[in-house]
Amino acid sequence: MLTAFVMDIGLFRQMLDMDSTSGREREFAEFLAARLQTERNKVDTFEVGDGTLNVLISWGEPEVVFCSHLDTVPPYIEPSFSEDGAVVCGRGTCDAKGQIFAMWEACKVLESKGYEGFGLLLLAGEETGSYGAKAFRDQYSGAEWVIVGEPTDNYMASAAKGTKAFEVTFAGQAFHSGYPQYGISAVELFNDFMNALRSVRFPIDETLGETTWNVGRLVSDNPQNILSDSLTCRVYFRTTFESDEMVCNIMKNIAGEDARLRFGRPRVQDGSDVVGKDVAQWQRAMSVTALGGDTPSRFETFEGFPSKPVAFGSDAPQLTNFRRKVLCGPGSILVAHRADEHVLLSEIESAVSTYVKMFEYIKKRPSNLHDTQMILNI
């Protein structure tokens, strides 16, 4: 039975009042390192190396570590509360200050119940490449369990899509736009590439569903009356267990005079079709640089806790110094990063209860049970 608790909404408001958009989260980290100190915990800070800071708060030697990230996406949006106080709007409410606040409240409950062996880890730079998580792998020996807080509607994520990012450049030939037949527009080459990529039939994964992709950072700095001689963009894939390797093959074999992918046919399944001499103009004119990413992940789920797969990334894949990983938190990913980002206080209260129950679920598992099902009456 969960002990009754009263959430410190004043603290949550203080957290939201601070601008911790990526690259500016150090002040927020220092604030929490001081504010969350109690007589029973220990606070350690770790330099990430880019001016930001990771924070680890420990109650004894942690076996279970709650974890979320300090930074938010820009722009900063000041917080506001609905008239009845039930809804909190503003940057970070859903991703991920709401998770930090819920985890802190859960730690307070666990502390009040006399527990030790848990911690709260606050990481920098999640939104810009998980730099805090990557640094922390070398700063801390790790623990058995990490519970990563992200907006999953308080469901345990059973699996998450992977990511693959590529920088693509098209080399055109500038010419007066009144005589396009004498030049090559990099924009038109990009359009041909988009049409080809849309023709790819990615397999439907039984767990993670469809593979999706998005184009960003699109730059072609040419006057309106001159054909573009260069276009650069980023192509960002959300991959599944079925498509992760396929995406890499496609982007590896797509470009240059020796391109090995044939597009414009009904089926492009695995990135291995041989083009031979029939290489499209846009393929000869493009270059591709792989920027890395994460593979799709599976996470721990517990009997009696609802679960579902998710389509977004997190720090979890980078936290290789933890053996077992849970991904769960309040809020909906559908409002994260938006101008109307918000969270219900009832969702946060429910998350506090869920986090406490998860910790007790782990602690009360049979001692000889390691990789099999754990049973606990909640």
Indicate whether 107 and 36 sit together in one domain: yes
DSSP-based three-state secondary structure for 370: coil
Indicate whether 126 and 18 sit together in one domain: yes
Indicate whether 43 and 147 sit together in one domain: yes
Q: What is the pLDDT of residue 267?
A: 43
DSSP-based three-state secondary structure for 161: coil
Indicate whether 236 and 253 sit together in one domain: yes
Range of the domain at 211: 162-292
The C-alpha angle with vertex 220 and arms to 214 and 221, in degrees rounded to 5, equals 145
Indicate whether 144 and 203 sit together in one domain: no
CA–CA dist 175, 13 (Å, integer) = 56
Contact (Cβ atoms closer than 8 angstroms) between residue 202 and residue 250: no
Q: What is the pLDDT of residue 377?
A: 35
Q: DSSP string covering 332-356, please?
A: BTTTTTSTT-EEEHHHHHHHHHHHH
Indicate whether 212 and 131 sit together in one domain: no
CA–CA dist 40, 56 (Å, integer) = 14
Asked, for residue 4, whether it belongs to a domain, the answer is no
For the chain, the domain total comes to 2
Indicate whether 123 and 183 sit together in one domain: no
Digits of tens for pLDDT over the chain (378 positions)?
565 678 999 999 999 999 999 999 999 999 999 999 999 999 999 999 999 999 999 999 999 999 999 999 999 999 999 999 999 999 999 999 999 999 999 999 999 999 999 999 999 999 999 999 999 999 998 899 999 999 999 999 999 999 999 999 999 999 999 999 999 999 999 999 999 999 999 999 999 999 999 999 999 999 999 999 999 999 999 999 999 999 999 999 998 887 877 765 434 445 544 334 468 999 999 999 999 999 999 999 999 999 999 999 999 999 999 999 999 999 999 999 999 999 999 999 999 999 999 999 999 876 534 444 443 333
Indicate whether 252 and 110 sit together in one domain: no
Indicate whether 188 and 288 sit together in one domain: yes
Domain of 226, CATH number, reads 3.30.70.360
Q: What is the pLDDT of residue 7?
A: 95
Indicate whether 188 and 322 sit together in one domain: no
Indicate whether 310 and 357 sit together in one domain: yes
Q: What is the pLDDT of residue 371?
A: 47
Q: What is the pLDDT of residue 307?
A: 98
Asked, for residue 3, whether it belongs to a domain, the answer is no
Asked, for residue 31, whether it belongs to a domain, the answer is yes
CA atoms within 13 A on the CB side of 166: 22
Q: What is the pLDDT of residue 120?
A: 98
